[in-house]
Structure 1
Amino acid sequence: MSETKVELHPTQQITVATDSREILANARKDTAKFGLDDYFIVDVDSHHVELDSWPEIIENIEDPVLRDVGRRHLADWPQGETALSAFTPGLTFQDVGGRIPHQAQLAEYVPPGDNHRDVTLIQRAMDSMSIDVQVVFPQPMLEIGLHPSPEIGLQLMNAYNKWFTSTVLGKDPRIKTMLGLPFENPAASLETIRRYHDHPDVIGFLVTSQRHVGVHNNAYIPVYAELERLGMPIGFHAGPSWGDTMTKTMNRFLSVHAMSFVTCNMTHLTNWIINGIPERFPDLKVIWIESGLAWLPFMMQRLDHEYVLRTSDAPMLTKLPSEYMREMYYTSQPLEITDDALLKSTFDAIDAENTLMYSSDWPHWDFDVPGRIMHIPFLSDQGKRNILGETSRKVFNL
């Protein structure tokens, strides 16, 4: 059940302890202004802070030796709260130098109760933004694909999935997830799908996109075949990296954030299409998450141009790459909305009224409330309804 309403205070300094409902107070104004309670709203991308529960997750590691190492790091190391993870505390600039502190932690008071505090925090965000279904992902675990030890990465992903499905899911039917795959290991990815696909709150599976693997590799074909058979979508969730050959030349996080959230999914999408994965699995629904939209017209034009000149390099394709892209799905966050004309062209290019799905990316520093979609002037009312929830209803069989 939802909590009772919180009393809102005058404008004040926001800290990590500020109640989410106060931070999101303006979202409630949008609800009244646009009548959002009459819309079915699905948030396809939101996050919780799994490091706040890291000791609990460490306890779910299957390997007893690695579990003991994790316990010792938690107890003895100065940065023990990140034990065994690939998370780099010294490069956490997403809170904008402390000016947007809720990005770093949601340390607000949560009264003791039957549910884990993360359940309460998710409910507060959903209620504040008038969200009917929220798909929740981890945060630092999104960097698991860059872990220097694939074996440890596999153990951590399995431990997290076990913890999340038993601790957070099942407490509120509005809370869903696309469960992360241990993608460095195709066999383990297939086992994850078979283990969790029938959980009522697991509505798809996720690849964390910051990783150096070819998604077209034949080893992954059984994974895609199983997802297509089950009718479950696969999502590719972007993330930042300051350590690859391009971003390590950059001296500002702004630059890293602008580029790396896009280039990882650009790479995977190119390999996905040019190697004919959509032809092999025409009924597999594919979602590209948290890369924004501005890159898509560029990719359509670039790939079409190259394909026309070199069709022999992509013998499995039966149509232009852009046509395959219009059959995929995308999430709205972060919505590049600084130029209405460019945004409209982008929406037209991807048939956004039928392929775009709303996402908040809460509680990250650049999150978007549902009212963001309602402010777009060129969308039809049905288009807004589709983006806010109806397309997601279809994709996820809600």
Structure 2
Amino acid sequence: MTQAMIRSRVPSTELVPVRVVDSDIHPMPAPGQLVEYIPEPYRSKILTHKVGSTIYYDAPDFNHAFAMRVDSFTEDGGFPGSDPDLAFQQAIIEGGSDIGILEPGFTAKRLPEWSQAICTAHNTWLANHWLDSHNNWHQRWRGSICAATEDTAGAVREIEKWVGHPYMSQILIKAEPRPAWGDPQYDPIWATAVKHDMPVACHLSRGFYETMPAPPVGIPSYNHDFMVSYSLLANNQVMSLIFDGVFDRFPELRIVLVEHAFTWILPLMWRMDAIYEARKSWVDIKRKPSEYVKEHIKFTTQPLDYPDDKTELTRAFEWMDCEKILLFSSDYPHWTYDDPRWLVKHLPAHAREAIMFRNGIQTYHLPESVPALPGQTKVW
């Protein structure tokens, strides 16, 4: 039935309520697909040869599956995330998500203009190959406007270019570029996001050379400590946003931290609040730091770190007011994929609806109902 619907590509007139919003699905350009959208003169200069990994990746079966679900490769060997129909079948029909937020994996380059050119290409590619009427016939995909914060003026132009697209739901940036987000040089980007009432999401990335997220002691040797360092990067960006007054300058700004984990935010809020109380006369912000976090920042659930004693996780959820700050995410098609039917069981009962779909609907301004899909897995 589902395959017949894909062939007809006609949305159902029956509507069903949205019960799962997946805030992290990764589309991937097919070989050669992105190049045609890179603006000149960058297209003619681009290097297309493959290079070796700079950091040893310790994911299971990485040499064979590149840290992806082994069943997410296409029948002809295409890379996971490169086929909208397969992603639809696995993440929406079988996985049970009702709406998926697409987040292309663009990486920072050494030159700001190159980073922006890559963002420009990804935005056009996403609109033409995922959000068009042929591939988004089911109306379940929502896109991200990729913007390179290193080139502030270019980022604003790119946002303004795509903000009117009916299926673009957020602005997507990276956390690696320096200085930290509290610097006034980024204010035009925040102002544009607020102007159009769009959230700004940040997904972890792997840049090149000095653009990589390095801990204070330098680039780590292995993937496992490198992955932990992403949380340290987000930790510093959160502090910069708060203590440098970004949320006071832009009271309507909304930030989403994707795949940076989230359990670390609880002790960070405790520490920031303690410093705020001790040095309040020296600090210009108007409220306790934890209040800014709960009002302005959302975190995706994947990766969900939890201790052996699950009751400790439950207490942490309660202490951080998880129903205010969390968005469900699966991280499809990576090997770390979290099935929503598994994830929902780990959430406090009173917070499940908020995390699984209500926060997503509010954050991304999504509809509360979508065309029905016969055969779709029901998470609830």
Shorter-chain TM-score bucket reads 0.7 to 0.9
Say if 2:184 is the partner of 1:205: no
Distance 1:120 1:298, change over 3 A: same
Q: Over residues 350-381 of structure 1, what are the superposed CA-to-partner deviations in whole Å (9 max), with x where a residue is unaligned?
A: 3112321100011122221102332126322x
Say if 2:88 is the partner of 1:119: no
Q: Over residues 318-368 of structure 1, what are the superposed CA-to-partner deviations in whole Å (9 max), with x where a residue is unaligned?
A: 211011111122211111123423322332233112321100011122221
Q: For 1:392 and 1:100, how far apart are their aligned partners in 2?
A: 34
Deviation at 1:92, TM superposition (A): 5.8
Distance 1:312 1:192, change over 3 A: farther
Q: For 1:205 and 1:243, how far apart are their aligned partners in 2?
A: 20
Q: Which residue is equivalent to 2:365? A: 397
Deviation at 1:165, TM superposition (A): 1.5
Q: Where do 5+ consecutive residues of structure 1 fail to align?
A: 6-36, 83-87
Q: For 1:92 and 1:252, how far apart are their aligned partners in 2?
A: 5
Q: Which residue is equivalent to 1:287? A: 256
* SS at 1:3 equivalent: helix
* SS at 1:375 equivalent: helix
Distance 1:40 1:211, change over 3 A: same
Q: Could you tell me the TM-score, scaled by structure 2's length?
A: 0.81
Which of residues 369, 388, 391 is equivalent to 2:356? 388
* SS at 2:142 equivalent: strand
Q: Over residues 33-88 of structure 1, what are the superposed CA-to-partner deviations in whole Å (9 max), with x where a residue is unaligned?
A: xxxx97611100111233x33x2212212123x31222xx43xx4x2xx7xxxxx6
* SS at 1:59 equivalent: helix
Q: Where do 5+ consecutive residues of structure 2 fail to align?
A: 6-15, 367-380
Q: Which residue is equivalent to 2:326? A: 356
Q: Which residue is equivalent to 1:26? A: none
* SS at 1:135 equivalent: strand
Say if 2:207 is the partner of 1:230: no
Correspondence 1:34-45 to 2 at 5 A: 40-45=19-24
Q: Which residue is equivalent to 2:33? A: 56
Q: For 2:38 and 2:219, how far apart are their aligned partners in 1?
A: 36
Is contact 1:189-1:223 (8 Å) kept? Answer: yes
Q: Which residue is equivalent to 1:181? A: 147
Q: For 1:248 and 1:111, how far apart are their aligned partners in 2?
A: 37
Q: Which residue is equivalent to 1:277? A: 246
Q: Which residue is equivalent to 2:378? A: none
Deviation at 1:176, TM superposition (A): 0.8
| % identical aligned pairs | 21
Q: What letter is aligned with 1:350?
A: M
Which structure shows the higher helix fraction? Answer: 1
Distance 1:354 1:377, change over 3 A: closer
* SS at 1:89 equivalent: coil
Q: Over residues 145-184 of structure 1, what are the superposed CA-to-partner deviations in whole Å (9 max), with x where a residue is unaligned?
A: xx22222212111112122122221231211122221110
Is contact 2:27-2:82 (8 Å) kept? Answer: no
Q: For 2:56 and 2:335, how far apart are their aligned partners in 1?
A: 12
* SS at 2:331 equivalent: coil
Deviation at 1:100, TM superposition (A): 7.4
Is contact 1:206-1:237 (8 Å) kept? Answer: yes
Q: What letter is aligned with 1:93?
A: Y
Q: Which residue is equivalent to 2:374? A: none
Deviation at 1:4, TM superposition (A): 5.5
Q: For 1:355 and 1:251, how far apart are their aligned partners in 2?
A: 32
Distance 1:280 1:377, change over 3 A: closer
Which of residues 148, 166, 169 is equivalent to 2:131? 169
Is contact 2:74-2:83 (8 Å) kept? Answer: no
Distance 1:249 1:287, change over 3 A: closer
Is contact 1:293-1:346 (8 Å) kept? Answer: no
* SS at 2:83 equivalent: helix
User: RCO (CA 8 Å, sep 6+): is it higher in 1 or 2?
Assistant: 2
Q: Over residues 184-229 of structure 1, what are the superposed CA-to-partner deviations in whole Å (9 max), with x where a residue is unaligned?
A: 0111111111110111110110111233232122222222122112
Which of residues 37, 40, 55 is equivalent to 1:91? 55
How many pairs are equivalent? 341
Say if 2:231 is the partner of 1:265: no
Deviation at 1:119, TM superposition (A): 1.4
* SS at 1:360 equivalent: coil
Is contact 1:181-1:189 (8 Å) kept? Answer: yes
Q: Over residues 368-398 of structure 1, what are the superposed CA-to-partner deviations in whole Å (9 max), with x where a residue is unaligned?
A: 1102332126322xx2122111111111111
Q: For 1:331 and 1:306, how far apart are their aligned partners in 2?
A: 26
